[in-house]
Structure 1
């Protein structure tokens, strides 16, 4: 029989995150700190709007680009949050989560052999989506001494004549790193000089704990070169609603919409009505959740300092990325042994790229009570490993 499989898809490794979730699901009394999902329920008024839309029989397809009302609310949000203007009719489209937006942006923009720059550690989908689009992923290893920010020199060193797109994954999953305005200005200068385009994944933008969030689209000359990707999963605790959006120049969005049209048709209608309510009246919910995340973040950093576990201070998302190099184990070995001996699941840093070796990702999208139990177990485990070294 002829091989039924695509050579390309066979070469792509499955997500390195799932392995530990599968083990935890079978393990009694285990705690998982691995899921990148808010532990909050979607705020009631947002759920209620979704329910109301069903009761009113709003169960039909929307336009391919999404509800006009939702695109207008996104345009209002971006104007008041970032002072950046987009035409809701031609420069904004609604997608099935931010993940679909990443996929179709790459497919709409790259030709076979084009190079896509991907700073790592970063979200697991960028590299495989680039490969599936026919591009060559070029990894830029980020460094802890730079707080896992992308520096202008690192960007410059990675560019060749085949480079077309830079993926900018900030606030970052898994490190929690952010880019400040001066960082983005230095990056923008090179992007313009080298005639590149940017896919800016800003899904965690509302979960920033140092000043106001900043987008590269605010830098002069960058709006025209950037596809901005965001969504409702993280800020509004709407992961299961599967709703994201992309904003960018009409020439790019038109082609992204074509792929979306044939592959998806439109994002879920009920979710879109709920998202209108989220943008109109959800600011207080976001602020309250952000404050609770920040409490947990500070607790974890204090606990790491007490147990002598090195960790730079992250100012975004809901992850910390402590260093475990002193124990002489790989990230996978550390996470596996921690799970087996203490029944706590964390994610090896290598799930997010080779430059994550020597680190683990811990999510604080969990209650403070659960975190305290899990960190108590981590402290016990770290003491045990330090005693073994002596």
Structure 2
């Protein structure tokens, strides 16, 4: 039987977010402001009615309407898109297909904890390229390529990056993908936080040769409850294998969720406008928090995405600090969930109101240490 390590991040989040009552100020989440079904259906000039949806199966690759909406979002070909049950299923399918004896994948550290755990569950070895705070967590092609060997089946790049918020420009992604192509290794670009940028906006990596893109509705589009993700892959043979795997894994998506997802993507400008408004207001408050911390906290200001990864400058473990704040109704994610205990992941886009109160409590707790 495969042994999966405890998912420390999800254990931490679910302990507080699903409590009764739930946490008052959630600054640990990596999603955006919340939407109801009624909110989503009401978007646009022609509100969506869903009560006539037939609750049958959907095509394993996703409905044509949904794939066309995803294609418009990424400016790519709808035939290159396969819908999945969240980006998590997309990752699991790719790891499954790449799981040859002795194979490895290359992934970022810090990074989304499921990369390593799920890859190893499929029998893949993992090799990490390190994002260093003294280098502003920049994702560098040379550091990535240094971890690639003859057994590498896949390289993962996450941009905007969780948890640090760094961004690799498209021109650098193109160069990295080309270098990997010479070694016969595909590049997976995880774009779940695209297109939220605080510096120069970046186009999607979809369409770059030797790149597979994965994304979903959960993060930048703020709709995790729709459990809708996708892969974008120009390789027709690999797409056929992915569709077969999806048929084995989950058969298909839900027609009801696919209709909601299609409508949400067609109205993505409104969803993203709300996200950007919240993000811009809230990141300014975090600027003030770090500047006023008396040197106790430092950070690399995110270039994109919904999270930051500040750290205690004296190197202390952040868990007790996070526990203290959770008892006061403010949730941060301790850095040990990412293998970096002096850090904290701070999500700044779900909390549409009340961030000033939460920041005040964080500032007060800092003065007590």
TM-score (norm 1): 0.85
Q: Assess, with a 3 A threshold, how the Cα gap between structure 1 residues 31 and 286 changes in structure 2: closer, same or farther.
A: closer
> 2:216 is matched with which residue: 222, 225, 231?
231
- 1:293-325 CA-partner distances (Å, limit 9, x unpaired): 122112212221122321111021111211114
Instruction: Report the CA distance between 1:267 and its aligned residue.
Output: 1.0
Given the alignment of the two structures, is residue 202 of structure 1 paired with residue 186 of structure 2, yes or no? no
Secondary structure of 1:16's partner?
A: helix
Deviates more, 1:360-369 or 1:166-175: 360-369
> 1:334 is matched with which residue: 321, 343, 349?
321
Given the alignment of the two structures, is residue 39 of structure 1 paired with residue 27 of structure 2, yes or no? no
Given the alignment of the two structures, is residue 246 of structure 1 paired with residue 231 of structure 2, yes or no? yes
Q: 1:82: which partner in 2?
A: none
Given the alignment of the two structures, is residue 350 of structure 1 paired with residue 346 of structure 2, yes or no? no
Given the alignment of the two structures, is residue 373 of structure 1 paired with residue 357 of structure 2, yes or no? yes
Q: 1:54: which partner in 2?
A: 50
Q: Assess, with a 3 A threshold, how the Cα gap between structure 1 residues 51 and 128 changes in structure 2: closer, same or farther.
A: farther
> 1:318 is matched with which residue: 289, 306, 313?
306
Instruction: Report the CA distance between 1:43 and its aligned residue.
Output: 7.6
C-alpha distance in structure 2 between counterparts of 1:198 and 1:236, whole Å: 23
> 2:179 is matched with which residue: 187, 190, 197?
190
C-alpha distance in structure 2 between counterparts of 1:146 and 1:106, whole Å: 30
Q: 2:368: which partner in 1?
A: 384
- 1:134-181 CA-partner distances (Å, limit 9, x unpaired): 211112221113322221221132122211211111111111221123
Secondary structure of 1:164's partner?
A: strand
Extract unaligned runs of 5+ from structure 2. none
Structure 1 vs Structure 2 CA RMSD: 2.5
Given the alignment of the two structures, is residue 101 of structure 1 paired with residue 94 of structure 2, yes or no? no
C-alpha distance in structure 2 between counterparts of 1:175 and 1:267, whole Å: 31
Contact 2:131 2:139 in 1 (8 A): yes
C-alpha distance in structure 2 between counterparts of 1:226 and 1:115, whole Å: 18
Given the alignment of the two structures, is residue 124 of structure 1 paired with residue 113 of structure 2, yes or no? yes
Q: 2:15: which partner in 1?
A: 22
TM-score (norm 2): 0.89
Q: 1:388: which partner in 2?
A: none
Contact 2:62 2:252 in 1 (8 A): yes
C-alpha distance in structure 1 between counterparts of 2:49 and 2:22, whole Å: 40
Q: 1:276: which partner in 2?
A: 262
Q: Assess, with a 3 A threshold, how the Cα gap between structure 1 residues 21 and 275 changes in structure 2: closer, same or farther.
A: closer
Secondary structure of 1:316's partner?
A: coil
C-alpha distance in structure 2 between counterparts of 1:227 and 1:325, whole Å: 37
Secondary structure of 2:62's partner?
A: coil
- Alignment length, in residue pairs? 363
Extract unaligned runs of 5+ from structure 1. 1-5, 80-84, 386-390
Secondary structure of 2:214's partner?
A: strand
Deviates more, 1:199-208 or 1:42-51: 42-51
C-alpha distance in structure 1 between counterparts of 2:23 and 2:190, whole Å: 35
> 1:361 is matched with which residue: 345, 352, 355?
345
C-alpha distance in structure 2 between counterparts of 1:76 and 1:52, whole Å: 19
> 1:114 is matched with which residue: 103, 113, 118?
103
Contact 2:177 2:186 in 1 (8 A): no
Secondary structure of 1:245's partner?
A: strand
Q: 2:249: which partner in 1?
A: 263
C-alpha distance in structure 2 between counterparts of 1:70 and 1:157, whole Å: 38
Q: 1:75: which partner in 2?
A: 71
